[in-house]
Amino acid sequence: MAKVVIKECNDYGLDMVKQQLTEGIKLLGGWGQFVSADMKVLLKVNLIGPKTPDSAAVTHCEFVRALTQILQDKGCIVWIGDSSGGAIAGIAPTASGFKVSGLEQVAEDEGAVIKNFDREGVVEVKTDNGKTEHMYLAKPMFEADFVINLPKLKTHSAGIYTGAVKNLFGCIPGLRKADYHRQAPDSKDLGMIIADIHKSVSVGLHIMDGVIAMQGEGPTAGEVYPAQKILMSTDPLALDTVAAAMIGMQVDDIPILLSARERKLGESDLKTIEITGDYTTPPVLQGYKYPKRFRSSKKKNNAALIKIIDFLKARPKVNTKRCKHCNMCVESCPVNAIDKESKKINYKSCIECMCCHELCLHKAIDLKNDKWIAELFMRFYRRRMQ
Ligand code: SF4
Ligand code: SF4
């Protein structure tokens, strides 16, 4: 029987979060079941974009600090990683996300290591979703000895709800995420792709930051809801089933969870999930606001958004005037898309991970959009952002 622990947690005070996490993990068998000294533990946060910790859009940095301290007390080496969604002016905003969210500061204070999934390389995995034959996932997911998934409790304007199952979508680095959105505009199809990610990586624990949650038009534009809960489980679907029940939803309402059920990612029947901790049944979050599309008959897809992302999307291009021919980009490209001599990029092979752009020490890889109007817009936007 799957087990989900729910703990009350009023705010992000460090002592409070540490105490609730410690008590919760004890109910799942204790930290000794999961980690030991010298293990590299990756905290896979939700860093959807450059959002502040109090926006409720990202895993709160103090929540991550608490977990980092607990794991370091056990002798673990802590990594904090993700790749942000979407694009700002055609560029994946992961690096600025780490700054704005406070996670970079937490890593610096605590001696943890930031793993920006856009610059760490990829591992190719086989898929079974009927849309793609293989996909590329961020290397740290495979290099860590133990991975803890740290989703946020949020509604989602297109996907209705986002939690532990959906959070692994961030394992796809760079702008490639938009490609999967294009191939699977329907949330249930996207759920099949996400199920492939779960089947390809090994995640030992899922801990949901529901201290402040997001309601309404999430995952970034919703309103803050002080849910004051932490959920913990080894089963991502069971955790989401319980979290969804807390906000008055069922698995049947959430396409990505329907796919997760079909692909047997875990338990999705409340009758066969043991709820423990401060509750034995899902505590109802009164007045929680739903996204407009909840229970609407409209086809749930985000095709319009994907078209905009596609239009604005920049591609890497070597600036031959600045290039020093060090070949760092050539050797780092996970799909050998950069010609060693000419430095031309084969865009048919390029998976848009942006590793080359991130790694070039000479700033010789520009991100350019071939459409002049999009390029003009991006330049204007970037100038405004500086
Ligand atoms: S990493 Fe930069 S400088 Fe080195 S070869 Fe590539 S583009 Fe040129
Ligand atoms: S050229 Fe290679 S390293 Fe650069 S974005 Fe494309 S796949 Fe990534």
**Nearest atom of ligand 1 to the alpha carbon of 356:** 1
Contact 99, 50 (CB under 8 A): yes
Q: Which phi and psi angles does 270 have, rounded to 5°?
A: -55, -30
CA distance 97 to 117: 12
- Place 371 in a pLDDT band, splitting at 50, 70 and 90: low
Residue 338 CB–ligand 2 contact under 6 Å: yes
pLDDT tens column, 37-64: 999 999 999 999 899 999 999 999 999 9
Which of 365, 382, 383, 321 has its CA nearest to residue 87?
382
Q: Is the pLDDT of residue 299 over 50?
A: no
**Residue-level pLDDT at 295:** 66
Ligand 2 centroid to residue 316 C-alpha, Å: 7
Residue, of 358 and 122, whose pLDDT is higher: 122
CA distance 99 to 116: 11
Residue 323 CB–ligand 2 contact under 6 Å: no
**Nearest atom of ligand 2 to the alpha carbon of 329:** 3
Share of the chain above pLDDT 90, in %: 67
> Which protein residue has the closest C-alpha to ligand 2 atom 4?
356
**Residue-level pLDDT at 382:** 56
Q: Helix 176-183 vs helix 187-200: angle between axes, to the nearest 10 degrees?
A: 130
**Residue-level pLDDT at 373:** 66
Q: Based on the number of CB atoms within 10 Å of its own CB, is 203 exposed (0-12), middle (13-18) or buried (19 or more)?
A: buried
- 176 three-state secondary structure: helix
Residue, of 368 and 26, whose pLDDT is higher: 26
Ligand 2 centroid to residue 348 C-alpha, Å: 11
In sequence order, the 6+-apart residues with CB closer than 8 A to the CB of 76 are 35, 36, 37, 38, 39, 40, 41, 146
What is the pLDDT averaged over residues 194-208?
A: 97
CA distance 41 to 320: 40
**Nearest atom of ligand 2 to the alpha carbon of 359:** 3
Report the relative pairing of strands 152-156 and 160-162 from DSSP bridges: antiparallel
Residue, of 375 and 275, whose pLDDT is higher: 275
Q: How far is CA 1 from CA 205, 206, 370, in A?
A: 16, 16, 54
In sequence order, the 6+-apart residues with CB closer than 8 A to the CB of 8 are 20, 228, 229, 278
Contact 5, 30 (CB under 8 A): no
**Nearest atom of ligand 2 to the alpha carbon of 332:** 3
Which of 5, 83, 12 has its CA nearest to residue 49?
83
> Which protein residue has the closest C-alpha to ligand 2 atom 3?
333
CA distance 379 to 386: 11
Ligand 2 centroid to residue 352 C-alpha, Å: 5
Ligand 1 centroid to residue 100 C-alpha, Å: 29
**Residue-level pLDDT at 298:** 44
Measured in whole angstroms, the distance separating CA 51 from the mean position of its chain's CA atoms is 13
Q: Which phi and psi angles does 159 have, rounded to 5°?
A: -95, 5
Domains in the chain, ordered, with CATH? 2-304 (3.40.50.11440), 315-368 (3.30.70.20)
Give the Cα-Cα-Cα angle 95, 100, 105 (nearest 5 degrees).
Answer: 85
> Which protein residue has the closest C-alpha to ligand 1 atom 8?
323
Give the Cα-Cα-Cα angle 253, 7, 234 (nearest 5 degrees).
Answer: 65
Query: For residue 316, what are its two tokens?
Result: 């890497």
Poorest-pLDDT segment among 32-41, 105-114, 262-271, 345-354: 345-354
- What is the pTM (predicted TM-score) of this model? 0.82
Could you say which ligand is closest to the alpha carbon of residue 328? 1
**Residue-level pLDDT at 86:** 60
pLDDT tens column, 226-259: 999 999 999 999 999 999 999 999 999 999 999 9
Which of 175, 179, 354, when mutated, tests ligand 2's pocket best, judged by the most ligand atoms within 8 Å of its CB?
354
CA distance 183 to 191: 12
What is the pLDDT averaged over residues 89-96?
A: 74
- Give the binding-site residues of ligand 1, using a 6 Å CB cut-off: 318, 323-329, 343, 360, 362, 364-365
CA distance 386 to 381: 9
Could you say which ligand is closest to the alpha carbon of residue 323? 1
Amino acid sitting at position 309: I
Could you say which ligand is closest to the alpha carbon of residue 337? 2
Residue 316 CB–ligand 2 contact under 6 Å: yes
